[in-house]
Amino acid sequence: MSEIIIFAEIDGDGLHSTAGELISAGKKIAADTGNVVSAALIGGNQDLASQAISLGADKVYLANDDAIQEGVADAYLAALHKICINAEPTVVLTSKTPIGRAVGPRLAYRLGSGIAQDCMDVSADGDSGRVTVTRPVYGGNAMAKFTFADKDPQVVIMRLKAFEAMEPDSSRSGEVIEFELSLDESDIKTKLVETVKEESEGVRLEDAAVIIGMGRGLGGPEPFSQLEELAKVFNGAVGASRAVCDAGWLDHSYQIGLTGKTVTPDVYITVGISGASQHMAGCSSSKNIVAINKDGDANIFKEASFGVVGDWEKVLPAFTETARELLES
């Protein structure tokens, strides 16, 4: 039976959070096409293979080779390419992670097939097996649906958190296939020289339940401390618009948006952010968006559920103080 292959990434000792999301996306296509969902686990072990099965994978390709090195796309690409040549999947799913968004497209081009990136939804036609994806274009100002032509594999890169992983269930069963890779040295053209960690204190943006967003409207880097103070009240984190990062007020690791991080907090409180589509592309799935902006016509008020039209310098201190009192009482 033809299959859907998901590229299951590894994070430390476990599966990357996107592995379960991709399995869920694969299952949605499989519900229409009757395909099996297989996980390509490159550089993994039996334990991780069991995890993938517990998250819903019907089959796992367990592929190892000395040439595989964390962070190096070339090796994962060569491995996934070999698996695809062998398994002839109809669909390949990867995530919009640094590795996933490098490997997915290059695989598609290597095989001469189609590729759609940053997809928020997928569906398939049961008869033809053709996949249709929904994805933002023009910086999120428009949404587009694309349908793949009759060439496999159809390669889809999913936006992070577009699908939810299923609850792991250890009673699920699946097949584990040890896949012989024997990669060639010529497969790997790039070398990872160094990995530099820039540890930031406190809660990671991607994990924070509350995020305070810093925009150009704050006028400079100094107000960061006030936002941090507010974030501490909620045990949350501070993120920023690209304008803030490009101006050098904050490092680019704070950037939320199309070309920054995708976040999905319970509440995202924006201060002095206009709500450009490219910014919203990274936060529009927040459960609640709150806006403090002096311009009542700013786009952010079209996205927010609660807001204050006013100068942040006057609004924020009172907001922070009241929030602190409420949470301490």
Partner 1 sequence: MSLNIIVCAKQVMDPETPLSAFNVDEAAKRVVPAQGIPPVVNGFCENAVEAALKIKEAAGDATITIISLGNDFVMDVMKKPLSMGADQMILIQDPAAENLDALGTATVLSKAIEKIGEADIVICGQQASDWDNAHVPLGISEMLGIACLSEARSIDLGDGTVTVASSRSDGYDVFEAPLPCLITVSNEIGEPRYPTLRGIMQASRKSPETWTLNDLDLSESDVSPVLTLSELFVPASDRQCEIIEGEDEADSGRLLALKLREEKII
**Is residue 293 at the binding interface for ligand FAD, with CB under 6 A as the rule?**
yes
- Considering only 91-99, 129-137, 166-174, 252-260, which stretch makes contact with ligand FAD by CB under 6 A? 252-260
Interface residues for ligand FAD in 202-231 (CB under 6 A)? Answer: 215-217
* 218 φ/ψ sector (left φ>0, alpha ψ -120 to 50, else beta): alpha
Interface residues for partner 1 in 174-233 (CB under 8 A)? Answer: 189-200, 204, 206, 210
**Is residue 251 at the binding interface for ligand FAD, with CB under 6 A as the rule?**
no
CA distance 83 to 79: 6
- Identify the residue among 76, 148, 163, 249 touching partner 1 (CB under 8 A): 148
Interface residues for ligand FAD in 295-324 (CB under 6 A)? Answer: 295, 298, 311-312
Q: Answer whether 103's CB lies under 8 Å from 76's CB.
A: yes
- Identify the residue among 41, 258, 263, 273 touching partner 1 (CB under 8 A): 258
Residue 134, φ and ψ in degrees, nearest 5? -115, 125
- Identify the residue among 85, 125, 128, 138 touching partner 1 (CB under 8 A): 138
Residues in the chain: 329
Asked if the peptide bond before residue 153 counts as cis, ω within 30 degrees of 0, the response is: yes
Q: Answer whether 243's CB lies under 8 Å from 255's CB.
A: no
- Identify the residue among 52, 160, 231, 243 touching ligand FAD (CB under 6 A): 243
The residues pairing with 64 across neighbouring beta strands, listed in sequence order, are 180
Tokens at residue 118, please? 């940053």
- Identify the residue among 8, 23, 73, 92 touching partner 1 (CB under 8 A): 73
CA distance 69 to 71: 6
What's the closest the beta carbon of residue 53 comes to partner 1, in angstroms? 27
- Considering only 68-76, 84-92, 174-182, 213-221, which stretch makes contact with partner 1 by CB under 8 A? 68-76
